[in-house]
Amino acid sequence: RRIPQMLNQWRIGNRAISAWEPEIVPIGDMRDSVLALIGFGRIARAVATRAQAFGMRCLAYAPTVSEWEVRSYGVRQVPLDEAFGAADVVSVHLPLTPGTHHFVSTDLLALMKSSAVLINVARGELVDEDALVQAVEGGQIRGAVLDVYRGELEGQPPRRELVELPHILLSPHISARGADLREERK
């Protein structure tokens, strides 16, 4: 929803909608957009259910899940290149293994539409951050939303390029945090 750009307008004093709206390029509607889920475990299945409620069409790259199981969620199973090439939003839901380190690479980012957004809520090391920065800076993709980043599990801050790029939205690994989770840990 272009929240970082809107907040920047608010910070410089453009608080009325008529003041900041002309400065913000709209991103369009979610209806009829395509969400590609990379991995199709418990969280990706929950995301698919919610995305479909907003009218999104869902694809999944899920080589370890049967086609009938993916289809039972109203999702179409596709090859990896089709998932990245057809999506308006790519959401990564893979476990981190030696085989998935830097899974989202220069080659996969090159398949994405220039209007597409990458979301990573799984593990930071799944995305090659150098390739992501280049893709966003070069306008190869519209942007990224990262709830995880390289080194965050060791308490390292995100790279400065990730923080400073206006088309990357970062959150501090809070996508699964909620009051119910806090209560559960007490």
Quick one: pLDDT at residue 40? 98
Task: Check residue 178 and give its pLDDT.
Answer: 52
Predicted confidence at residue 175, as pLDDT, reads 53
Quote the distance between the C-alpha of residue 102 and its chain's center.
Answer: 15
**Span 110-142, pLDDT tens digits:** 999 999 999 999 999 999 999 999 999 999 999
Q: Which residues of the chain have pLDDT under 50?
A: 181-182, 185-186
pLDDT at 181: 47
Beta bridge partners of 117: 89, 143
| Sequence-ordered alpha helix ranges (H) in the chain | 3-11, 17-20, 42-53, 67-71, 80-86, 106-111, 129-137, 160-164, 179-185
Q: Exactly one of 76, 102, 167, 173 is catalytic; which is it?
A: 173
Give me the pLDDT at residue 84, please: 98
User: Is 167 noted as a catalytic residue in this protein?
Assistant: no
* 152 is known as an active-site residue: yes
Q: Which residues of 89-107 are buried (b: 16+ CB within 10 A; e: fewer)?
A: bbbbbbeeeeebeebbeee
102 is known as an active-site residue: no
Q: Which of 125, 150, 152, 159 is catalytic?
A: 152
pLDDT (0 to 100) of residue 173: 59
**93, 123, 142, 150: which one is catalytic?**
123
